[in-house]
Amino acid sequence: MTSLGFQSLQVTLIGRSLALWTKYTGIDPGVNLTGPTNGQGLDYFNNPTVRTWILSLSLNY
């Protein structure tokens, strides 16, 4: 790699909320409309959790 001007290259790929393995029929069991209360199972008018991909490249000169 020294011919390209750097000594090392680190590639990192991170994925969050890519799949949901459950028999739950609602939008997302991790979402609660009422916040930190006893209103469990109220997931109407909520947006599902965002699916994200992060790609990171790190070069060491």
pTM of full prediction above 0.85: no
pLDDT of residue 59: 92
Query: Is the backbone of residue 37 left (phi > 0), alpha (psi -120 to 50) or beta?
Result: beta
Average pLDDT for runs of 10 along the chain of length 61 = 80 91 72 66 70 94 86
Query: What is the distance between the alpha carbons of residues 44 and 31, in angstroms, rounded to a whole number?
Result: 10
